[in-house]
Each structure stands twice: as structure tokens, then as C-alpha cells.
């Protein structure tokens, strides 16, 4: 019988974890052996008791507890990968509620196609009404990018904007064995806005020619806390994400013309956003105004990190990789989660 390991990394969010494990217990029979893997990142609350309670109730599954003392989501995920035995690996989070058909959809995709990875649909659970300045173009900031109701193939040059994120993704074990796990210098870290481990993993998938499928039937619901529906949170996230993407692009250089060390097309987008921001002020459109200003903050973070990295290379005496001589890599797609939508 085929097998699938469902991996959830968690830290001091036992209440949220309880809801996620209860939702998994309600899954339709996927007709494969299922192991629920909880990767505890050294929690100090009652996370272990929540795990034990869920395990005692959902006896139709195998269960695995993994303790990882090193802080950071990537460390927890990699520890879980090292101990998971499923030939298919599904990832979700403790603040996510998978719908009943989630696992069955993923299992069918792997059993019936040669897809290397699966991306599912993510819908929000709003803990407070979204403010009027928040449009779907910015939902990616909250981890709820909705890629729609149509199934799609994903691969190099094909629907690259549909990016797997840790909220709802799955991959074959053989692919992880070949490409490796998640970069520990990326991924969520306590009290920071650091991210990017799933984005970098996706770039690696594309770089090695892997192909996937987007399945709208593999749905999860992602909790959106009220305290994240604040302009300040979005501004901080956008700036940090720009920095994260600049770091990732340095690892995956591609042939593209540069201006002051930054791809020219990004300057053009920034100019478009600046002009659009002026128009939004003139037209008194608060949603467009905020979206354009968020995009410019993202660009500022990108430029800062690019220039700082180049300066550090100069001080160290190392040579930067000339973009016109670089091996073509996959398009860096993190910004599409919120910046490209709605343009």
C-alpha cells in the first residue's frame, strides 16, 4: 500500500494545533497508509498533550512525534523529513484546517499522474472583517493566495506563478531525497518576519526540471488573525519579503539586463507603481494607493538587499556572477504572490 506522511511544524501554538489535528482526523479515506508527523520546535506549552490527545482519538492513522530544539521552521521540517517514511510528503501548518477531501485529492494526484509535486487551494478564515484597503492582490502577504478553481499543470515556463507554499503542498519523497530539504537560513523564525524556505524549494524544483499540478479540490482553510489586518504588518512584511527575494535571486541568477545591479524590469515596475500611486492619490482610491505603496516598499527592500550583498562581495574580494554569463535559472516568483496580481 502506498503511504503518505503529513508534516506539521509547530511552536507554542497548542490551541491552533488542536484544530489542525482535529481537521485531519475528519479526512476522507485516502486509501493509503497515513502518518501524521508533528515536528515540535521546542514548545514550552501543552503541545505534547494536544498531540497525545489527538493520537488517542484518531487511531486510523500512524503518528510520529519529532522534537527539534534548534529554533526555526526549516530545522523542524528537516528533522521531520529525516524521520518520515512516506513515499509522498504533504505539508500544512498548525493554523490551517484541511477540508475532508484534502488528503484523498493529493493521493489520487500522485497515484494517477507522474507529478513531482502538488499544490492545493488555500482559502481564508477571517478572524475579523478584511479592511477596505485590502484587495485580493495582497492576499499572498497573509498566506492565502487563491489560485482559482481550475486545475493546472506547473513546470518550467508553465504557470510558474502558482507557487507551492508550506500551508498546502506535497512532494514525492524521491524528489526530496534527490534535491534535499529546506534551507535552514530561511523559513519562519521566532519574533521575525523571515520566510522563503518554501519559495527557495520551489525554485530548486523548477531548476531541476520538476513538474507539478495545481489541484483546487485539495483545499485547506487558513486562519487570518485580526492583528495581521493592519497596514503596519503589511508594510513590514513587504519590505522584508523584498529582501528575502533578493537573497534568493542571488542563488539563482538568470540572464537579464541590469540597471545599478537591479534587473531593469523591476525598475520599470517600480516606475509604474510610482505613477500609479500618484494616480491613486488623485483618484482617492485607498485600495490602489496602499497596493502601490506596498509594492514600492517591496522594491526598496529588494534594492537594499541587492546593493548590500554586492558591497559585501566587494569588501571580501569575491567576484559577483555576471548576469549575462549566468546559467539561466527559473523566474523568481515570490513577488507574484501579491505584487503581480491585479496589475
At 199-212, the pLDDT tens digits run 999 999 999 999 99
Q: Which residues contact 212 (CB under 8 A, 6 or more apart)?
A: 115, 116, 117, 118, 119, 153, 154, 155, 164, 205
**Span 66-93, pLDDT tens digits:** 999 999 999 999 999 999 999 999 999 9
Longest dimension (CA), the chain: 63
Q: What is the pLDDT of residues 280-301, one digit of tens each?
A: 988 889 999 999 999 999 999 9
Determine contact, residues 307/250, Cβ cutoff 8 Å. no
Nearest to 82 by CA among 7, 32, 10, 13: 7
Q: Residue 333 above 60 pLDDT?
A: no
Q: What pLDDT does residue 341 have?
A: 36
In whole numbers, what is the pLDDT of the chain averaged over residues? 90
Mean pLDDT, to the nearest integer, of 146-172?
A: 96
H or E stretch at 215: strand 212-224
User: Distance (Å, rounded) from C-alpha 333 to C-alpha 72?
Assistant: 23
pLDDT attached to residue 318: 56
Cell 524521491 -> residue:
174
Is 159 within 8 Å of 123 (Cβ atoms)? no
Q: Which residue has the cell 477531501?
A: 101
Instruction: Give me the pLDDT at residue 319, please.
Output: 53
- Residue 132 neighbours by CB distance under 10 Å: 9
SS3 322: coil
pLDDT tens digits, one per residue of 30-46: 999 999 999 999 999 99
In this structure, are residues 88 and 5 in contact, taking their beta carbons and an 8 Å threshold?
yes
Most confident option among 224-233, 242-251, 334-343: 224-233
Q: Is 176 exposed, middle or buried (0-12, 13-18, 19+ CB in 10 A)?
A: middle
Question: Is residue 155 a contact partner of residue 211, using CB atoms and an 8 Å limit?
Answer: yes
10 Å CB burial of residue 329 (0-12, 13-18, 19+) is middle
> Is the pLDDT score of 235 beyond 60?
yes
Distance CA 292, CA 277 (A): 5
User: How far is CA 29 from its chain centroid?
Assistant: 27
CB 90 within 8 A of CB 77: no
Q: How far is the C-alpha of 255 from the C-alpha of 208, rounded, in Å?
A: 17
For 108-144, the pLDDT digits (tens) are 999 999 999 999 999 999 999 999 999 999 999 999 9
242, burial (CB in 10 Å: exposed 0-12, middle 13-18, buried 19+): buried
* Residue-level pLDDT at 175: 98
pLDDT tens profile 237-263: 999 999 999 988 888 877 789 999 999
Alpha-carbon distances of 8 from 20, 86, 141, 203, 255, rounded to whole Å: 9, 14, 20, 22, 37
Q: What's the pTM value of the predicted model, to 2 decimals?
A: 0.88
Q: Single out the residue of 179, 186, 210 nearest to residue 200, CA to CA.
A: 186
| pLDDT (mean) for 9-36 | 97
Residue 61 pLDDT: 97
- pLDDT the model gives residue 342: 35
Amino acid at each position: 500500500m502506498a503511504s503518505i506522511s503529513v508534516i506539521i511544524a509547530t511552536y507554542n501554538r497548542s490551541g491552533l494545533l488542536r484544530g489542525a489535528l482535529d481537521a485531519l482526523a475528519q479526512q476522507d479515506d485516502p486509501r493509503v497508509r497515513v502518518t501524521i508527523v508533528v515536528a515540535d520546535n521546542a514548545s514550552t506549552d501543552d503541545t505534547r498533550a494536544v498531540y497525545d490527545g489527538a493520537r488517542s482519538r484518531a487511531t486510523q492513522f500512524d503518528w510520529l512525534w519529532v522534537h527539534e530544539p534548534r529554533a526555526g521552521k526549516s530545522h523542524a521540517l528537516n528533522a521531520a523529513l529525516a524521520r518520515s517514511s512516506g513515499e509522498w510528503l504533504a505539508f500544512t501548518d498548525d493554523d490551517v484546517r484541511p477540508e475532508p477531501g484534502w488528503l484523498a485529492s493529493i493521493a489520487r494526484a500522485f497515484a494517477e499522474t507522474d507529478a513531482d509535486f502538488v499544490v492545493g487551494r488555500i482559502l481564508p478564515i477571517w478572524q475579523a472583517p478584511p479592511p477596505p484597503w485590502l484587495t485580493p492582490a495582497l492576499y499572498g502577504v497573509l498566506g492565502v493566495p487563491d489560485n482559482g478553481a481550475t486545475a493546472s499543470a506547473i513546470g518550467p515556463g508553465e504557470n510558474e506563478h502558482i507557487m507551492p507554499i508550506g500551508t498546502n503542498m506535497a512532494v514525492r519523497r524521491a524528489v526530496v531525497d534527490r534535491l534535499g530539504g529546506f534551507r535552514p537560513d530561511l523559513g519562519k523564525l521566532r519574533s521575525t518576519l523571515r520566510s522563503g524556505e518554501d519559495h527557495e524549494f520551489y525554485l530548486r524544483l523548477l531548476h531541476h526540471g520538476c513538474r507539478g499540478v495545481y489541484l483546487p479540490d485539495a483545499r485547506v482553510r487558513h486562519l487570518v488573525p485580526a492583528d495581521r489586518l493592519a497596514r503596519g504588518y503589511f508594510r513590514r512584511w513587504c519590505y522584508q519579503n523584498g529582501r528575502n527575494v533578493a537573497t534568493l535571486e542571488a542563488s539563482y541568477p538568470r540572464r537579464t539586463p541590469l540597471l545599478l545591479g537591479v534587473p531593469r524590469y523591476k525598475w520599470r515596475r517600480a516606475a509604474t507603481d510610482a505613477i500609479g500611486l500618484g494616480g491613486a492619490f488623485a483618484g482617492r482610491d485607498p485600495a490602489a494607493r496602499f497596493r502601490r505603496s506596498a509594492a514600492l516598499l517591496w522594491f526598496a527592500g529588494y534594492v537594499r538587499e541587492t546593493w548590500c550583498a554586492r558591497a559585501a562581495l566587494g569588501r571580501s574580494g569575491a567576484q559577483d556572477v555576471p548576469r549575462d554569463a549566468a546559467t539561466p535559472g527559473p523566474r523568481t516568483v515570490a513577488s507574484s504572490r501579491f505584487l503581480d496580481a491585479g496589475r
